[in-house]
Amino acid sequence: MNIIFIGSPGAGKGTQAKRISGKYKIPHISTGDILRENIINDTELGRVAKSYMHNGLLVPDSNILIMIKERLKGKDCNNGFILDGFPRTNPQADGLELILKSENIHINQVVVLQTNDDIIVERLSSRRSCTHCGKIYNLLFNPPNNSDLCDVCHSKLIQRRDDLPETIQKRLAVYKKQTEPLVQYYQDKNLTKFVDGSGTVSQITNSIFQILDQYD
Ligand code: AMP
């Protein structure tokens, strides 16, 4: 099963993609996570990506396409994958199509998570993540026991630099301009299903499972 997730930053793509990955046993591929790992490891890609990410801008398509092409070669992708945060632009969607065509793979479903901006800003500004194990919390609906420390490994929790209020606004504007047109791109291919992203995490998961069960 090959799935693409589209939704604005903070729509809950990462949280839902992890649940789907667990149920259908396919890898969750988050380009944001791969880039953050590259920054931590101070790789060449990480050094290129850093300033774009910290400013709420998109990393250049060419870097992203090289990175995703490599990731999709992984053996764990043999039974499918969930793409979270990719593609984010038209050239990325075209590039993905070429990569998949060469492997004779096709996308089964594009899940579009719909939310409104007020919810997004509230969610993103309350998001905290663990500096050590990467576990994500939300101070509003999934708070840690101690607001500064991770429940699992007791390391310090931080707010992602791109979750600061001014950067959130920029990321939303970038989403509307560069990524939202992809909804039409995939609608034209009859691949989209829309999910209301404003309910509880479990309600949203159930709606997504109802759509994806047919491919299992
Ligand atoms: P995310 O974790 O998906 O919200 O991504 C965090 C940041 O990583 C984004 O704001 C971009 O700067 C960068 N990024 C992630 N995925 C992509 C992509 N497909 N294309 C360009 N930049 C990306």
Span 97-120, pLDDT tens digits: 999 999 899 999 999 999 988 888
How many angstroms does the Cα of residue 85 sit away from the middle of ligand 1?
6
Backbone angles phi, psi at 142, to 5 degrees: -150, 60
Round to whole Å and give the CA distance between 163 and 123.
9
Q: Which atom of ligand 1 is nearest to the CA of 30?
A: 3
Can you give the pLDDT at residue 141? Answer: 85
Q: What is the pLDDT of residue 51?
A: 92
pLDDT < 70 regions, the chain: none
11 in contact with ligand 1, CB cutoff 6 A:
no
- The best mutation among 8, 58, 127, 169 to test binding of ligand 1, ranked by most ligand atoms within 8 Å of the C-beta, falls on 58
The conformation of residue 213, written as its DSSP 8-state character, comes to G
CB atoms inside a 10 Å sphere around CB 36: 19
Domains of the chain, earliest start first: 2-115+176-215 (3.40.50.300)
- State the pTM of this model: 0.89
- 148-173 pLDDT tens trace: 999 999 999 999 888 888 889 999 99
Give, as one character, the DSSP assignment of residue 145: S
* Ligand 1 close to Cβ of residue 168 (< 6 A): no
**pLDDT of amino acid 37:** 94
Q: Is 163 in the pocket of ligand 1 (CB under 6 A)?
A: no
Nearest ligand 1 atom, CA 56 = 10
Instruction: Kindly state the percentage of the chain with pLDDT values over 70.
Output: 100
